[in-house]
Structure 1
Amino acid sequence: MTEVGVGPWDGPWPDDPRYDPELLRDGDRRNVVDTYRYWSLDAIVADLDTRRHPFHVVIENWQHDHNIGSIVRTANAFAAAEIHIVGRRRWNRRGAMVTDRYQHVRHHADVAAFGTWADAAGLEVVAIDNVPGAEPIERASLPRECALVFGQEGPGLSSEMIGLCSRVLAISQFGSTRSINVGAAAAVAMHAWIREHAEI
């Protein structure tokens, strides 16, 4: 089996404070891009903080959905500003593959608490759910500063959360299934924001 990452540092150690002495000594087998090899966790987070995108990812967590970790991983890949967990504080981190360590994750006890925070932050809250009356995301323009809200696998978003949102967008589907996996839907929606607003 091919090992991931790099082994111990070869040659004189760099004096850059971003490097972690233990990683230099033992090697860096983390799932990070090459730019961040041997960097400490704090150094990576600090660097990401200088270039995060101004969209937030919001996940309702009432049923301990196993897809939350996948959504968090995608939010990290697209450098979301923050991740918000609404409802239960605990969530299944396995699918995140430790990417949550590099993100700012904020908890809100309920929809009302999140709504108060979003209003104070001046963010437009946009639901992603295939409910009647939803606008096709393929024809929509997403706000640059916004919160994209995702629900649970199966039941989708709560009526209270949909009521909080200014718009509801749906991903167009053409097959026989009623819905796509919420982790996949989140990736499609975040990438729609990237296509419209990110500097490539």
Structure 2
Amino acid sequence: MSEPVAITSRDNPLLVKLRRLAREPAATRKLGAVWLEGEHLCRAALARGVRPRAAVLSASAAREPAWAELARAAARVHVVDDALWKGLSTLESPAPLGFVLDLPAAPAPQPDAPTVVLDRVQDAGNVGSILRSAAALGFVQVVALAGTAGLWTPKVLRAAMGAHFALRLLDAQPPHTLDALRVPLLATSSHDGVALPGAALPWPCAWVFGHEGQGVQPALLARAAMALRIPQPGGEESLNVAAAAAICLYESLRARGAR
């Protein structure tokens, strides 16, 4: 690792880039980089063998041994003047350290992997929550179809709480990517289909979760081996998609008797 580089100008090219990554959801793909904020996410990446391109930390954090040691895991370290640090985050209380990662290339789909398919799920918090549930409940691959919030954007990263680094992620995919899957598709529906409790769920499978307002698009419903609904005796029109996903993925876990 080279000596830390001090940054004292707001117009420093790295700071300009990080401000874009923090504020513009499309910047992650345009710039080919990921801005990972905070100790928890940074340690989750390191635990999965990720080598950051750079660590960026505030000048005050650089004087603290624990933060300085974490930063040394990166290939390069940049120390930012404290007065400039808050501009690198959209959070009210920014963490004093972050990693810059190269945007991972989407891998080829694994045909037989337990999979979650996101069909135009647009809220970043919902997408991140679904990734977290997928990783926790034994699903290893996520296919995000075009129109879904970018998987590597800051809000999705924060909501997923490190789940990214436990999953095989295919971002911004065309629908024909699903042609490679050999597992049955299970589509969620708010009112039609088989009631989820007690349904004979196949394993492995690919759960499809749709747009917050429109649900799963008809073309995907037509491809599904099963359409399933979550009973709602309270009379609500539908569940939040992240809540519905957690229930469905847990039912898959329960159906196969896993502990």
TM tier relative to shorter chain: 0.5 to 0.7
Identity, % of aligned positions? 24
Structure of greater Rg: 2
Distance 2:188 2:44 in 1: 35
TM-score by length of 2: 0.53
Gaps of 5+ in 2: 1-38, 51-111
How much does 1:61 deviate? 2.1
Aligned residues of 1:84 and 1:107 also touching (Cα < 8 A) = yes
Distance 2:128 2:134 in 1: 10
Aligned residues of 2:40 and 2:161 also touching (Cα < 8 A) = no
1:107 aligns with 2:201: no
Question: Paired residue for 2:254?
Answer: 195
RMSD of the alignment, in Å?
2.9
Aligned residues of 1:64 and 1:88 also touching (Cα < 8 A) = no
How much does 1:186 deviate? 0.3
Aligned residues of 2:138 and 2:253 also touching (Cα < 8 A) = no
Letter in 2 for 1:30: H
Distance 2:229 2:245 in 1: 11
Residue number among 127, 131, 140 corresponding to 1:68 in the alignment: 127
Q: Please give the per-residue CA displacement for 1:86-136, whole angstroms capped at 9, x wherever unaligned.
A: 11365251321232122111136332x133122xxx21111012243x110
Matched position secondary structure for 1:178: coil
Question: Paired residue for 2:183?
Answer: 123
Distance 1:31 1:61, change over 3 A: same
Distance 2:116 2:220 in 1: 14
Aligned residues of 1:89 and 1:109 also touching (Cα < 8 A) = no
Question: Paired residue for 1:96?
Answer: 160
Letter in 2 for 1:130: S
Q: Hey, which of these two has a bigger chunk of strand by percent?
A: 2
Aligned residues of 1:59 and 1:149 also touching (Cα < 8 A) = yes
TM-score by length of 1: 0.68
1:12-23 superposed matches below 5 A: none
Gaps of 5+ in 1: 1-28, 44-52
1:6-155 superposed matches below 5 A: 30=40, 40-42=47-49, 54-61=113-120, 63=122, 66-88=125-147, 90-91=149-150, 92-93=155-156, 94-107=158-171, 109-111=173-175, 113-118=176-181, 122-132=182-192, 134-155=193-214
How much does 1:74 deviate? 0.6
Q: Please give the per-residue CA displacement for 1:40-69, whole angstroms capped at 9, x wherever unaligned.
A: 3228xxxxxxxxx95211111264554111
Distance 1:141 1:37 in 2: 35
Aligned residues of 2:116 and 2:143 also touching (Cα < 8 A) = yes
